[in-house]
Amino acid sequence: MKYSITFLLLAITYNVLAQFSVGHSTSSFFDAARANREIPCEIYYPAVSAGDNVSMVDGVFPFIVFGHGFVMNYTAYESLTNALVSSGYVLIFVETEGGFAPSHNAYGLDLAYVADHFFEQNTITGSTFENHLLDRCAIMGHSMGGGSSWLAATSSLSVDCIAGLAPAETNPSAIEAASEVLVPSIVFSGSNDAVTPPSSNHIPIHESTASSCRIFVDILEGSHCGYADSGSLCDFGEFGFSGLNRETQQSITSDLLLAFYDIHLKEIASGNAVLQNYDSTQLNTQTQIECLVSVYEQEISTMSVYPNPCIHSLFLNYSADGNMPYQLTDSMGRWVSSGNLSFTNQFAELQTHNLTPGLYSIIINDEVITRFVKQ
């Protein structure tokens, strides 16, 4: 195994950021356009302490809407929940269509509805999530929920990226729906998956996705059920499986999901290096990355910022010294402030304690831009 110094530093940084306790609450949403259909959800979030209905920690966080596998529910994904929420993401499990005759179409619409309406909690007085949500959203799922995530992405107006853990072909077809999916996507595929074989499920869903940024992670000897914890009904479909152990598969999944979400939900560019270098750190993955290089990625190479997210101040590393004019805008592109930053030994400090929590862009010399999250 070969580990670069850069990758080790990134891994250490990711571990340091994974610091939040996990809170939990239960809520329901109602879709008036479908006869007031009730959509019960189990919600996990960064909290001041672990427990039910506890307060969120200070800061703003993106949210992820999750679709469960066939005859599974949120309790099967505790390890994945802890990995994502402790790293600063709100995770919403949509608990409809859990029986033996699920409607994939209805489930896709449920996922899309929650993705489009959960951010409203940010402005509801007394809500646990009031003033704590970043207007950035992913839809993801496992197996049936994975395929349904592609269905959801064709109707959601809010989704910024999608992810599938062994995504299954659905009715209506997730493969056909993929041709309408333009947001960044990542597909995880266990090569030994005997429940949803990659050749007829994961691979065609990935290859049909129309996004200009799509990633396929082949987990060598990985299983269909290894994304979930042991003991769920999923295990009966892979009785006697002897491939990659569950702990390794879950570690791979959480590592790459966090990098993917950090890029597309938090605008943290260091996730790119994690994705690009991951295969060289171990022998269990073959990752295909097909993403156009964006202007943001080109510009970010000349400037880095930390800590990101920040609280009181932001440090900037730029490839020049002296006084540099800057402009600061919010997530809607509105002007916040401007002035000059003094770079010494290619470093400068920006005070952020007076900023409202949210996503910001900072522009140096009218040309170099990067983004950061204020908590």
Tell me, what's the pLDDT at 333?
A: 65
Inform me whether the pLDDT recorded for 300 exceeds 50: no
pTM for the whole thing?
0.79
Inform me whether the pLDDT recorded for 298 exceeds 70: no
Q: List domains and CATH numbers for the chain.
A: 5-292 (3.40.50.1820), 304-374 (2.60.40.10)
Ramachandran assignment for 261, one of left (phi > 0), alpha (psi -120 to 50 degrees), beta (any other): alpha
Quick: pLDDT tens for 74-91.
Answer: 999 999 999 999 999 999
Quick: pLDDT tens for 37-84.
Answer: 999 999 999 999 999 999 999 889 999 999 999 999 999 999 999 999
Quick: pLDDT tens for 154-203.
Answer: 999 999 999 999 999 999 999 999 999 999 999 999 999 989 999 999 99
Tell me, what's the pLDDT at 49?
A: 97
Tell me, what's the pLDDT at 10?
A: 42
Residues 207/211/213/216 CA torsion (nearest 10 deg)? -30
189 phi/psi in degrees, rounded to 5: -135, 115
Of the candidate ranges 232-241, 250-259, 342-351, the one whose mean pLDDT is the lowest: 232-241
Cα 373 to Cα 357: distance, rounded to the nearest angstrom: 7
Tell me, what's the pLDDT at 1?
A: 34
* Spatial contact of 291 and 316, defined as CB atoms under 8 Å apart: no
- Angle, helices 104-117 vs 144-153, to 10°: value is 60
Inform me whether the pLDDT recorded for 144 exceeds 70: yes
Cα 22 to Cα 30: distance, rounded to the nearest angstrom: 26
The mean pLDDT of 129-136, rounded to a whole number, is 93
The mean pLDDT of 267-281, rounded to a whole number, is 87
More confident residue, 304 or 102: 102
Tell me, what's the pLDDT at 368?
A: 66
Place of tokens 């809010």: 158
Tell me, what's the pLDDT at 316?
A: 86
Tell me, what's the pLDDT at 270?
A: 77
Q: What is the mean pLDDT of the chain?
A: 89
Of the candidate ranges 176-180, 204-208, 236-240, 252-256, the one whose mean pLDDT is the lowest: 236-240
Task: List the helix and strand counts (H, then E) for the chain.
Answer: 9, 17
* Spatial contact of 244 and 223, defined as CB atoms under 8 Å apart: yes
Quick: pLDDT tens for 207-220.
Answer: 999 999 999 999 99
Cβ burial, residue 258 (10 Å; 0-12/13-18/19+): buried
Q: What are the tokens at 205? A: 């869903």
Residue 236: partners with Cβ closer than 8 Å, 6 or more residues away: none
- 339 membership: H or E segment, kind and range: strand 335-343
More confident residue, 327 or 181: 181
More confident residue, 75 or 319: 75
Tell me, what's the pLDDT at 36?
A: 97
Band of pLDDT at residue 129, cut at 50, 70 and 90: very high
Share of the chain above pLDDT 70, in %: 91
